[in-house]
Structure 1
Amino acid sequence: MPFANIKLPEGVADAARKEEIIHRVTAMFVEYFGERARPYTMVLVDEVADGGWGRADETLTLEKMGLKPKQR
């Protein structure tokens, strides 16, 4: 079963954007494995609390990255 776990900072993607991510990732798996993969593909979109993630030993926040959360 193809599986993708997408992690996003909390609040940067609304429901429509998450749906688009799910459709596009599924399409990528189908392109690679063929149509038979579609019913078995799982895409999980997780939101990570602001400040709950980092890179290169630095905790990142939306403010540090110059981003603003999307209104829900």
Structure 2
Amino acid sequence: MPFANIKVPEAALSRAQKEEIVHKVTNLFVDYFSEAVRPHTMVLIEEVKDGGYARADEVFVIPDAYRSKD
């Protein structure tokens, strides 16, 4: 069973955008492994709270301009 775990900042994506990601990632796995994997493909989109991720000692908070308008 192919499994993709995608982490994004909380509220960065709308429901429609998440559905599009799931569809595209599933299709990517199908391209590599064949149509047989479609019903067994798991795509998990995890939303990370502001301040819950960092790089090089810089803690990130998503700017309002990048938040989903959902």
Query: Corresponding residue for 1:22?
Result: 22
Q: Secondary structure at the match of 1:30?
A: helix
Which whole-Å CA distance do the structure 2 matches of 1:7 and 1:21 have between them?
12
Please give the TM-score of this superposition, normalised by the length of structure 1: 0.87
Matched-pair identity in %: 53
Q: Secondary structure at the match of 1:8?
A: strand
Is the aligned partner of 1:6 residue 2:6?
A: yes
Point out 4+ residue stretches in structure 1 off by more than 3 angstroms: none
One-letter code of the match for 2:35?
E
Shift in Å at residue 56 of structure 1?
Answer: 2.6
One-letter code of the match for 1:54?
A
Structure 1 segments unaligned to the other structure (5+ residues): none
Please give the TM-score of this superposition, normalised by the length of structure 2: 0.89
Shift in Å at residue 67 of structure 1?
Answer: 4.3
Structure 2 segments unaligned to the other structure (5+ residues): none
Query: Corresponding residue for 1:69?
Result: 67
Which whole-Å CA distance do the structure 1 matches of 2:18 and 2:60 have between them?
21
